[in-house]
Amino acid sequence: MAVDITTDLNKVRNIGIMAHIDAGKTTTTERILFYTGITYKIGEVHDGGATMDWMEQEQERGITITSAATTCWWKDHQINIIDTPGHVDFTAEVERSLRVLDGAVAVFDGVAGVEPQTMTVWRQANKYSVPRMCFVNKLDRTGADFFRCVDMMVERLNSTPLVLQLPIGAESDFLGVVDLVGMRALTWRGETKMGEDYEVEEIPAEMAELAAEYREKFLETLSEADDAIMEKYLEGEDLSVEELEAAIRRATLADKVNPVLCGTAFKNKGVQPLLDAVVKYLPSPLDIEAIIGHSPKDEAVEIARKPSDDEPFSGLAYKIASDPHLGKLIYVRVYSGKLEAGSTVVNSVNGKKERIGKVYQMHANKREEIASVGAGQIVAVMGLKDTKTGHTLCDPQNQVVLESMTFPAPVIEVA
């Protein structure tokens, strides 16, 4: 049965995971899908066991997640993971996928640090001002050095890392992280479970001094990026976890800082706090005020489309994929209005009418047929004949070309 998806857009995250090859993008994505348990909100299917079996099968066959957009749910938020190719050869494809995501997580190898492909993708993300977080992975490996990796983010990426966690233990004794926002320790000692499986402890005594030093650095960096925090910080006022989190979000959305977290995806340590941070700090589709395109008749005439179901439909086809069961699928990011199965739209780039066939939301191990989907969502569409990547689909009565889109600065609400 096809369903309508209208979700509170504040609770949607369209994210990409970017990394140099081998840094752990696939492993991190798989762990995200494991921890989120592929709990479908729509239809309320809680299918944890099946997810595990599926992952084991996929791993045995050496297949990784192939969908260009995979939807999962974490704490009442819908996270759409958009596949961002890591390889330099795919630069054009990277650019296209960067245009459809609202925020990104860069995964680093804790031993190798900042590698060339990350530098390339990072520069491309700078071009679109994509808010980004960093996850220093592989801290269980011999030679892993979290602090060196953070230094490299400054030197090689020219970024402003906002260190939110410190590793507890190293290499095979890597146990967990110090959370510098809540000033507590999160540890993983037990068996891996879906959902939130870390333990909350006091910061280990031998790390108290280092934690205090890095808490100070965290507050300094944050206050330089956020005036509201600066004022309170200078006056020595107490800052609550909620205030700090709100400020981290503002500074991240404004692309002034990059929150840094750490762990090991392989050993299942650190991924759930990363998911929490995605929800807390990365933008929702509503944080992009409007997307600017132009009239199909005149490139000089700008047209803005807001992320609202009440606007005329506009969407960008960003990837063509071949599904073994469904045939040709075109992945579309809906920017405004509603995309409805069976409706007729116009491809404003080539002027051709297109009939939307079936519409699917893709999960890691199943797809869901959808009757209509609102602004901010990403879906796979069947039945399009003349649409290629980079083409705009839109309401025939209200045409727009999104090809040359630029992202205006996100809307920042200062508390």
Residues 6+ apart with CB under 8 A from 387: 317, 330, 347, 354, 393
In the chain, count H helices and then E strands: 9, 24
Half-sphere exposure of 30 (CA within 13 A, CB side): 22
- Residue 262 binds ligand GDP, judged by CB under 6 A: no
Strands (E), 255-358: 258-262, 291-294, 302-305, 314-323, 327-336, 339-340, 344-347, 353-355
- Our CB check for ligand GDP shows the closer of 27 and 365 to be 27
Candidate list 14, 27, 36, 387; residue touching ligand GDP; CB under 6 A: 27
Nearest to 50, CA basis, from 62, 67, 33, 64: 33
Candidate list 23, 168, 211, 225; residue touching ligand GDP; CB under 6 A: 23
- Our CB check for ligand GDP shows the closer of 23 and 105 to be 23
- Our CB check for ligand GDP shows the closer of 86 and 285 to be 86
Q: What span, in angstroms and rounded, lies between the C-alpha atoms of 331 and 345?
A: 15
Query: For tokens 């990026």, what's the residue?
Result: 225
Taking CB under 6 A as the rule, which mask of x and - marks residues 82-121 in contact with ligand GDP? ----------------------------------------
CA 176 to chain centre: 23
- Our CB check for ligand GDP shows the closer of 24 and 410 to be 24
166: enclosing H helix or E strand: strand 165-168
Q: What span, in angstroms and rounded, lies between the C-alpha atoms of 314 and 395?
A: 7
Say whether 298 counts as a known binding-site residue.
no
- Residue 25 binds ligand GDP, judged by CB under 6 A: yes
Candidate list 3, 7, 11, 26; residue touching ligand GDP; CB under 6 A: 26
- Our CB check for ligand GDP shows the closer of 73 and 266 to be 266
- Residue 138 binds ligand GDP, judged by CB under 6 A: yes
Which tokens go with 55?
């992952």
Candidate list 137, 252, 336, 387; residue touching ligand GDP; CB under 6 A: 137
- What part of residues 345-404 is at the interface with ligand GDP (CB under 6 A)? none
- Residue 295 binds ligand GDP, judged by CB under 6 A: no
Q: Which residues bind ligand GDP (CB under 6 A)?
A: 19, 21-27, 137-138, 140-141, 264-266
Residues tagged in the binding site annotation for GTP? 19-26, 83-87, 137-140
